[in-house]
Structure 1
């Protein structure tokens, strides 16, 4: 009997659809809200649209400058799939792979994906396990890894959120709060340029909730400077029109806020027949800081066989009747 390629998880408030391609969050519904909360194309096992939509990306999320890094004195050349840089693990990273379903329960599932030594230029045979679960109004993803040789590892989930109408209108009318006092300025290729800068007085000061408006952002916000901490609040997102709000919690030191401006203008047909275009959804990607393998002053991304590698992200959803903002 063929194994399913789609998993449905349910709690009393949430229904999540997980697909094997990229272990992706393909659809997410909140009771009392008539639209999907995330963007996804109609093809569950085809290329994800918008790019990386809902998938687990890696083995290293975000960009690595010039698609290369050194580890223990050895230089590794990676797949350059974003101009001169390596983005989200290369063109055949975790998001493009068909993951193996290991276990399914009514409200949780476990999938795994092993990448061989040298895949996309990265050293070490590295397995990543994704545990998705729903409980009440919370969606949680725990990623764990193991490797047989020193490598780098920082996967993350890449959902595009639209809390209004599933992407029919832009995210400009959303309000966001990011609990970070600094961010990483970037160069023309999206690589961190220099040291963290204060958000105070910048267009990226979201320490207090404020409308996104026409802000264009694809930057890492520095939540803290250590590799891991306990699960803690990192961001809040809300939409006054729908009355839906979301609280994001993570143990990671960074959060990439991306306003979806590079979604192709020709659009893609998504859930419910909605046509997606630029700014149809936004991303809040929990991560180790971009280009960390080349920046010893950034939180460490090195993963060794004797090391325990695990990270958790949690999204908590509420409606106007039960506000969290």
Structure 2
């Protein structure tokens, strides 16, 4: 029996397309209007659009990190910048454990890898309703020791076929994370006040730029992707917004970056 490569869930005028590989959101429409960057099953998602980044998003410098006093060495997967990038699960097939007309749940065991001797299980549930799309991810530590954990959703939003330069953006983010040329954090987050990243009031995208310029009072470069909602950093930290997105992720418990200390303890993290 052939394995189903993807899933379609519908409700409230929304249609979400979920790929088994990477548990990726490969398309979301409302009334036929695309709200995310789409890609076809069996193709490589552009810039990993819609994929889940775990057990870490963004980049680990030289593939080396220290946890609980022990040095771990990951395989370098971004050779040109000598980083370990975006975790282990965006290119593997997840198992479907629950399917319905308006929801699907996928799971994956992360497994052990060079520099990752831990036992981590992930579960993602996508559901659509009149309110839009909701994604809830649960991380479970099945081992006997604490493990490091971080999460990213690599979502690329769009408004139909309207060009970015014709859009007005409102984003309640008060901080921006400067990055180095290697796309690594360059110091702590800084205020967006007085920079091209300040979208706390609605305004057009900076003319002629696919991404805003770096904060003028900091070093480093911004995320290279085409939307401030990219989660590979994250580039921005939200301080609240007056508008709700049709795409929501729910979270309770630990923040997106932290520790999973208890065997089989659940950590529900939000984008």
Whole-angstrom distance in 2 between the partners of 1:74 and 1:21 = 32
My pick for the range that moved more, 212-221 or 201-210, is 212-221
The corresponding residue for 1:19 is 19
The corresponding residue for 2:190 is 197
The corresponding residue for 2:30 is 30
1:45 paired with 2:42, answer: yes
The corresponding residue for 2:90 is 95
Structure 2: give runs of 5+ residues left out of the alignment: 213-221, 224-233
- State how many pairs are aligned: 242
1:114 paired with 2:72, answer: no
Whole-angstrom distance in 2 between the partners of 1:84 and 1:137 = 42
The corresponding residue for 1:9 is 9
Whole-angstrom distance in 2 between the partners of 1:236 and 1:123 = 42
CA contact (8 A) 1:55 1:157 kept: yes
1:128 paired with 2:125, answer: no
For 1:1-325, list aligned pairs within 5 A.
1-31=1-31, 34-42=32-40, 44-46=41-43, 48-82=44-78, 83-89=81-87, 93-117=88-112, 119=113, 121-147=115-141, 148=143, 149-165=145-161, 170-213=163-206, 214=209, 215-216=211-212, 217-218=222-223, 220-223=235-238, 233=240, 246=246, 251=251, 288=256, 300-306=257-263, 307-312=265-270
Whole-angstrom distance in 2 between the partners of 1:111 and 1:126 = 14
CA contact (8 A) 2:131 2:246 kept: no
Task: Assess, with a 3 A threshold, how the Cα gap between structure 1 residues 2 and 49 changes in structure 2: closer, same or farther.
Answer: closer
Aligned-CA RMSD value: 2.5
TM-score (norm 1): 0.67
Whole-angstrom distance in 2 between the partners of 1:235 and 1:66 = 39
1:15-63 deviation digits (Å, cap 9, x = unpaired) = 11111011111121101xx442222333x134x2202121112221122
Task: Assess, with a 3 A threshold, how the Cα gap between structure 1 residues 234 and 60 changes in structure 2: closer, same or farther.
Answer: farther
Task: Assess, with a 3 A threshold, how the Cα gap between structure 1 residues 65 and 235 changes in structure 2: closer, same or farther.
Answer: farther
CA contact (8 A) 2:133 2:246 kept: no
CA contact (8 A) 2:177 2:189 kept: yes
How far off its partner does 1:107 sit? 0.8
CA contact (8 A) 1:236 1:247 kept: no
What SS is found at the alignment partner of 1:96?
coil
